[in-house]
Amino acid sequence: MINARLHAGKLRYIGMVSVPEIGLSLPISKGVNDIALTFGAGTLYPDQEMGKNNYSLASHFVQGSSNKKVLFSPIYYEGKTGQHMYLTDMSKIYSYQATSVKVVQPTAVEVTYNQPNKNQLTLITCDYTAERGRVVMQGDLKQVYTWHDAPKEIRDSFSRTNEWHKS
């Protein structure tokens, strides 16, 4: 954690992810490393494009009852099908609806693979034990807005912060 804070200035954010029903709102960095995953979410593949194919992100799960709103921990505790999931590059907003929340084996990387004719979002974090599996929340793309044409409540969902400082 200390190392991540010391090197946080080296992060380059490319957008944000939000799941407002569970209080999740985090910046997205290109790639996954300890620094990126300590402060937000990271892309799993270098050539991913928001709104196209399977846009896959990972972030840490933080154990403990006071950390239920930290990073991707809300997915473990409160993620459900039907919830709205949003991505933004600050130019467009990509609106998804969750179709599944499940625990998979840590080796089940196929959940991040592209599916024919399907644009989806995949959010991945560890389950409570980390060794037992990964919690995967997936949703299908429903709509794309320009930033200015998106409903205010969707735009506002990106300004909320996970409760890191409140817990």
Q: Which of these, 77, 80, 62, lies nearest to 164 by C-alpha position? A: 62
Query: What is the C-alpha separation between 158 and 142, in angstroms, rounded?
Result: 18
Tens-digit pLDDT string for the chain (167 aa): 444 444 455 667 899 999 999 999 999 999 888 777 778 899 999 999 999 999 999 987 766 665 677 787 788 888 999 999 999 999 999 999 999 999 899 889 999 999 999 999 999 987 766 667 889 999 999 999 999 999 999 999 998 655 443 33
- pLDDT of the residue at 162: 53
Phi first, then psi: what are they for 10, rounded to 5°?
-85, -5
7, 126, 148, 165: the active-site residue: 126
- What digits encode the pLDDT tens for the residues 62-79? 666 656 777 877 888 889
Query: Which pTM was predicted?
Result: 0.87
Per-domain residue ranges of the chain: 2-157
- Convert the pLDDT of each residue in 109-130 to its tens digit: 999 999 999 999 999 987 766 6
**DSSP assignments along 39-97, one per residue:** HSEEESSTT--TTSSEEEEE-----SGGGTTSTTHHHHHH--TT-EEEEE-SSEEEEEE
Q: Are 98 and 137 in contact (CB under 8 A)?
A: yes
CATH of domain 2-157: 2.40.260.10
Supply the pLDDT for residue 129.
Answer: 64
Q: Is 7 a catalytic residue?
A: no
Q: Which of 7, 60, 84, 148 is catalytic?
A: 60
- Side-chain half-sphere exposure of 38, counting CA atoms within 13 A: 14
Would you say 42 and 57 are in contact if contact means Cβ atoms under 8 Å apart?
Answer: yes
Q: In the annotation, is 84 catalytic?
A: no
Distance CA 158, CA 151 (A): 12
Confidence (pLDDT) at 69: 72
